[in-house]
Amino acid sequence: MSVEYSSITCRTALSPSKLPGLKYSLNPYVGCEHGCIYCYSRSIFRDRELALRWGRFVRAKQNIPELLSREIKRKPKGVIGLSTITDPYQPLEAKLGLTRRCLEVLSRHEFPVSIQTKSDLVLRDADLVKPGRFDVGVTITTMDEDLARKIEPKSPSPDARAQVVEEFASRGVETWVFLGPIIPEINDDAPSIERVIEVARRSGSKLMYDKLNLRAWVLESIAPFLEEERPGLVDRLPSLLTAGSDYWRRISSLVEGLCAERAVRCEPAFPSWACEVPSKRQATPSKR
């Protein structure tokens, strides 16, 4: 499937973020070639055709490093999330280096930075990632390569992502594993969840978890895959994923229990969506 690349000029680099633990978001690209079928970043578009073409276009914000270097001098300090609606280390980054140039700016200022990616390309920039001020998280929905290929078609393998947190942890950088989205009857079984938790345990990372988010266009994007894998599931998803549903209560308990058994720190990515599961999670700040 071909990807259409273009360059755009942006007007701001840092946007206010409402995500837990983040004050700003920094997104060097619009769109994401990784093309995860569950990605809810596509909901930023009103246009259905554009939203459903997510993964097949990438717009590079060519002037973002220069804008960032000006903005950062006048903004109040706060955690910068890199990135929140794109992957800062998607394939085009290897060629353009926009994220790297932003990191070069950030490394010269005292803002805390939280990097989230699915790509081992982030290891290229390890020289700029300052222990104590930067943290690095990888999203791993499953350690099953075949399933990952179906739902995250152009993302690096789960094993490559696991190596990212292991490498950064060995360098003294705080790391975390984002287990999400958890999709009912796809990656919500205990063995699958355990394999992801094991990555967090090995690397000493915190684990954050989240359920499938059915924002605009997501159901339509994921429906063909679900129909193939679990006929009829599409119709049941909305009730399973309602906040406080029995389903999500059970999965939250499962994740928290499996983490507790392995002494892995664990928290829901969005505490307000979570069910009341006894845990120590409120003791640590939530990133996203």
Give the binding site for ligand SF4 (CB under 6 A). Answer: 32, 34-36, 39, 41, 86-87, 118, 152, 155
What is the closest distance, in whole angstroms, from the C-beta atom of residue 197 to ligand SF4 in the complex? 20
Shortest Å distance, C-beta 84 to ligand SF4: 9
Angle 131-174-209 (CA atoms, 0-180°, nearest 5)?
155
Considering the complex, state which of residue 155 and residue 286 has its C-beta at the smaller distance from ligand SF4: 155
Give the pair of three-digit tokens for residue 9: 């000029």
CB contact at 8 A, 35 and 67: no
Buried b or exposed e, range 197-234, using 16+ CB within 10 angstroms = bbbbbebebbbbbbbbbbeebbeebbeebbeeeeeebb
Nearer to ligand SF4, 86 or 187 (CB): 86
Q: Angle of helix 158-170 relative to helix 190-203, nearest 10 degrees? A: 30
Cβ proximity to ligand SF4: between 221 and 279 the closer is: 221
CA distances in angstroms from 187 to 14, 109, 148, 183, 195, listed in the order given: 34, 40, 10, 6, 11
Which is it for strands 80-82 and 113-117: parallel, antiparallel or unpaired? parallel
Evaluate whether 268 touches 281 at the Cβ level (below 8 Å).
Answer: yes
Q: In terms of CB distance, is 41 or 192 closer to ligand SF4?
A: 41
In the bound state with ligand SF4, the residue whose beta carbon lies nearer, of 37 and 72, is 37
What's the token pair of residue 119? 């790509």
| Distance in Å, CB of 145 to ligand SF4, minimum | 16
Minimum distance from residue 104 beta carbon to ligand SF4 (Å):
23
The nearest distance, CB 148 to ligand SF4, in angstroms, is 11
